[in-house]
Structures are given as C-alpha cells and as structure tokens.
Amino acid sequence: MQKRKLGKSNLEVSAIGLGCMGMSFGYGPAKDKQQMIPVIRAAVERGVTFFDTAEVYGPFINEELVGEALAPFRDQVVIATKFGFKLDPNTGKQAGLDSRPEQIKHVADGSLKRLRVDTIDLFYQHRVDPDVPIEDVAGAVKDLIQEGKVKHFGLSEAAAKTIRRAHSVQPVTAVQSEYSLWTRGPEEEVLPALEELGIGFVPYSPLGKGYLTGKMDENTPLDSSDFRNILPRFKPEAMRANRALVDLLGTIAERKRATPAQIALAWLLAQKSWIVPIPGTTKLARLEENIGASAIELTPDDIREIDSAASKITVQGARYPEHVEKMTGR
C-alpha cells in the first residue's frame, strides 16, 4: 500500500483508509464486535494505517470497537475521531450540535479512554457549530494539542472561509467531507483553499454510500434502521436515474480489469496527491477490493474520459434531506 501525506502536516497515512462507522451505526443494526475486530485487523495486515471513527457512531461503541481492534498495533496506525454533536443523556441520540470549548475537552477525555490511547492522532470537528466561533473551537483543540492529548486538528464539511479562519488559530491538518463522482461540491471552493493552505483532504462516502459499487439498485432491500432510507438520492426513481454513473464506471472498469468501486476510488486518488479516501465496509472481500484500487493507474486520458462522460450526467436527488444539509458546508 502506498503512503500519502495529509497536506504539509507530515501526517503520513496509507493512500486508502478505513471508515469504521458502518460497523456500528448508520447502515442497519450494529454488527457483532467479534466479527468486526478481525476485519479491522485484516486491514492493518494489508497495509492500511488510517482508521476513522467518531464519538457519535453508536454512540460510543464504534470508538470502543476501533480501540480494542487496534490496541496491538497502536504504534503502526493513525486513528481519527470527531467531536461536535450534542447527545441526549437519556437516549444517547444526536440532539443538535455542541462545540463549546469545555464540551470539546470533555469529549476528548472520553475518546481517549474508549480508543485506549494516550493521544488522539487526528481530532475533527464533526460539523460546524453556528453558535460557537470557529476561532474558539480551534483554540480549544490548540489547548488539547499543547496538553499532549491531541496531535492534529481537522474539520468536517466546513466551507472554505471557515477553514481559513480556523487555520489562522491552529493549523488544520485535514478536512473530511463527502466527495465522489456523484458529490463534487468540494471542487468549487474547498479543494483550491486546501491546496493553497497545504491541508489534506479525506473524502468520506467515496463510493456514494455503496451506490457507486454497482451492487445496489432500487430493489435492494434496506433495513428499517438504515439511514439511506431518508436520503433523497436513494429514492427508487433517483437510483434508476443515477444508474448512468455506475454504467460509466463499469465501462472503464472492464477495460482496466477492475471493479466499478475500484475505478471510483482510483479516480479520487488521481485528483490530488494529498487526497486519502476512507471507504467503509464490514466484509473482508470488499476491504481487499477497496485496497486494490490503490494499484490502479488512471491515465490523464482516462480521467478526461470519465470527467467528460460524468459532466453529461445530471445526478438526481439531494444527498441529504434539507434539515441535515443545513449542517454542512458552513
């Protein structure tokens, strides 16, 4: 597995990471921890050194899973986690945003215990909190870095202007936002700002929450607790309309003797040398497929062909319902 540096920070990670959320949260019931630990450890054995989790995944149980799975490999891996959601003390469910400095420090202490680490490698603000100036957020993380509890500061789904303001207080190592062939919003303002500032970029949902693998269509059954049920882009009519994008990936994949998922990931890797996608999976075979994308070379002609064909396809359906979308891109 090749390595990449996240911007100018010298934080070096595998070119493809592992998003661990779906093991505990979001895509139906939490998977059995004893079945997920071997998947995470198999990723390490295959050269993955970058693992992504968050307090809110579960909540808490995903960090506990990642902490237990990676305990034997602590000195070989980089673990990223996140703060910024308010949790209902009775139900444990998300209840809005909370990035007050005292809350950030409280979350850090909890994450350190659950992850079984002395220092959090990369601590992202999960969503921008409009009630707390980003300078205060960056200042709180700066304090944690000075105390030795955190090594690197990150932002998720932040707008370019917010990134700049945060970066002026505490250098931002990485920004994590959704980015893939069917979600290209970051190209407009965020990626140019990151390039200028020397900040790495970590695309989440690089396979379009499973859709770009070509293994899903409007007849694919989803568990009632799967959050894709509420996403406009996963309504049957949108899934049918967006099939053209999967067909495009399939055409290139055939030529490269690869899979659509591998082409989707290789396309991201080809965009910038400081982009590190974090596809998630619960299956060993998918993990190996995703890792295999790092060996696929897309030529400039391949990229032009993909971009040209993709530009003629209008993606149907918003990526999130309106109330969720309001929490992104601030």
pLDDT tens profile 133-159: 999 999 999 999 999 999 999 999 999
pTM of the model: 0.98
Q: Catalytic pick from 57, 124, 179, 204? A: 57
Reduced to 3 states (helix: H, G, I; strand: E, B; else coil), residue 71 is: helix
Q: What is the pLDDT of residue 93?
A: 86
For 317, which DSSP code? Answer: S
- pLDDT over 90 at 89, yes or no: no
Calculate mean pLDDT across residues 30-42.
Answer: 98
d(CA 286, CA 311): 28
The pLDDT of residue 91 is 83
- Res 92: pLDDT: 84
The pLDDT of 3-24, averaged and rounded, is 97
Whether the predicted pLDDT of 94 surpasses 90: no
Is omega for the bond preceding 130 within 30 degrees of 0, making it cis?
Answer: no
Q: What is the pLDDT of residue 52?
A: 99
Q: Has residue 230 got a pLDDT over 90?
A: yes
Residue length, the chain?
330
| Half-sphere exposure at residue 22, Cβ-oriented, CA atoms within 13 angstroms | 19
Q: What is the pLDDT of residues 260-298, one digit of tens each?
A: 999 999 999 999 999 999 999 999 999 999 999 999 999
Distance of CA 60 to the CA centre of its chain: 17
Q: Which CA distances in Å does 236 have to 36, 221, 321?
A: 30, 11, 15
pLDDT above 90 (res 68) = yes
The reported pLDDT for the residue numbered 105 is: 98
- Please report which confidence band the pLDDT of residue 64 belongs to, taking 50, 70 and 90 as the band edges: very high
pLDDT digit string, tens, across residues 304-321: 999 999 999 999 999 999
The pair of three-digit structure tokens given for residue 204, joined into one six-digit string: 């989440």
Asked if residue 193 has pLDDT above 90, the reply is yes
- DSSP for residue 207: T
CATH number of 3-325: 3.20.20.100
Answer yes or no: is pLDDT of 249 > 90: yes
Averaged pLDDT, 195-212: 98
- State yes or no: is 57 an active-site residue: yes
- CA gap 195, 284 in Å, rounded: 34
| Share of residues in the chain with pLDDT > 90 (%) | 95
Cβ–Cβ < 8 Å for 36, 23? yes
The yes-or-no verdict on residue 8 having pLDDT over 90 is: yes
With a cut of 90, say whether residue 200 has pLDDT above it: yes
pLDDT in tens, 108-124: 999 999 999 999 999 99
pLDDT exceeds 90 at position 61 = yes
